[in-house]
Amino acid sequence: MTDSYYKIAELGDRNEALESIRKLEQKLTEEIGTTISLVAYENEDDEQ
């Protein structure tokens, strides 16, 4: 297994992805009963 390096994903202009994350945060918050916040990372080795 190789070491992977991740950085926070830039999703500012990806409204559909952001909305999906928000919906999942809300669903998990309701299920667990405490506020859940998700953070999106991307592999720095992935070429765009």
Secondary structure letter of residue 34 according to DSSP: S
Predicted model pTM: 0.75
Q: Are 9 and 41 in contact (CB under 8 A)?
A: yes
At 3 the pLDDT is 64
b/e code 16-48 from CB counts within 10 Å (16+ = b): eeeeebeeeeeeeeeeeeeeeeeeeeeeeeeee
At 44 the pLDDT is 83
Average confidence (pLDDT) per 10 residues, the chain, 48 residues: 80 95 98 97 77
At 48 the pLDDT is 54
SS3 26: helix
Q: Where are the domains of the chain?
A: 14-43
